[in-house]
Amino acid sequence: MQMNDYIELIDHKLDEFIPIEYPQTIFNSMKYTVTLPGKRLRPILCLETCRMLGGEVNDAIPTACAIEMLHAQTLIHDDLPCMDNDDYRRGKLTNHKIFGEAIAVLAGDALLTWAPQVIVKHSKNLEPSILIRILNEYFKFAGANGVIAGQVVDIESENNQDIEDKEKTLEYLHLHKTSDLFQLAMRSGAIIAGASDEKIEAVTEFAKTFGLAFQVADDILDEISTFEQMGKTLGKDKLEGKLTYVSLYGLEEAKCKLSCLFEKCHGIMEKQNLKSEIIVDMIKKIKKRAGI
């Protein structure tokens, strides 16, 4: 499958997996952010990992879509006035600007339990013990030891001059805020494919590195892009005194770091004999946007 085929498949399934039931407001709100056009990197990485490791792509579709729902959940709550207070996301008004804050809070909450329901309900070919493994991955990376840990450290690092080890803190927050969902995507794709522990470890390492690179690229784009290119308000990191690769190391050093991280990604794929034109293509596109 090509990148666009994957996106089309995922978009179709995301729509199918969130029907509009009563009370419609909550389903409309959940669906609104989940179905905003996006690159679908996380679900694609889940499906591609399953395929690369010899699994059936169809078996991974519910899990891939659940991870995109979880990603949308983090966006909805991140954009709230009490968090990043963003009015735009992917070029459209953010969830709370359309539905109000109360419904946006509840829509995020609802996605956190809707996503694992999609996994259980639609993964008919997966044994209960495999489902439990996938759900455990989901709970861990979605939770207080996962993406939320990253968000908390992000909030605490804002305008905080007392951080002892800024480099370590920055790596921690990027690893959790960003890499965790990539790890969840690739690890669960590998588990569904029935991969060995060695392969699962390899894709975990890849996902950590890819996630860090993705976040460095995001920091660079926050500095060099325009609203039209990104679909969200930019330059806020600097205004809010956020700890970013660019604020810590400068633009050139960040670009250097980005190249280096993607080299490491290629190295892991080569060593493990993992072949994916789509992932190679993804990396090329991210590098191009970041101007390297």
Q: Point out which residues bind a copy of itself (CB under 8 A).
A: 21-23, 25-27, 30, 73, 77, 80, 82-83, 100-103, 105-106, 108-110, 112-114, 116-117, 120, 127-129, 131-132, 135-136, 138-140, 142-145, 148-149, 151-153, 155-156
The smaller minimum CB distance to a copy of itself, of residues 22 and 252, is found at 22
Minimum CB distance to a copy of itself, residue 89 (Å): 17
Computed over its alpha carbons, how large is the radius of gyration of the chain? 18
φ, ψ dihedrals at 93, nearest 5°: -60, 145
Indicate the residue among 30 and 65 with the shorter CB distance to a copy of itself: 30
Dihedral over alpha carbons 125, 128, 131, 133 (to 10 degrees): -140
State which residue, 149 or 274, has the beta carbon closest to a copy of itself: 149
* Shortest distance in whole angstroms from residue 103 CB to a copy of itself: 7
- Let me know: does 19 contact 27? Beta carbons within 8 Å: yes
**Shortest separation between residue 19's beta carbon and a copy of itself, angstroms:** 10
Of 107, 97, 118, nearest in space to 27 by CA:
107
Cα separation values, 36 from 30, 79, 128, Å = 11, 14, 32
* CB of 119 or CB of 258, closer to a copy of itself: 119
Work out how close the CB of 155 gets to a copy of itself at its nearest, in angstroms, rounded to a whole number: 6
- Which parts of 81-162 fold into alpha helices (H)? 95-99, 101-122, 128-142, 147-157
- Distance of closest approach, residue 77 Cβ to a copy of itself, in angstroms: 6
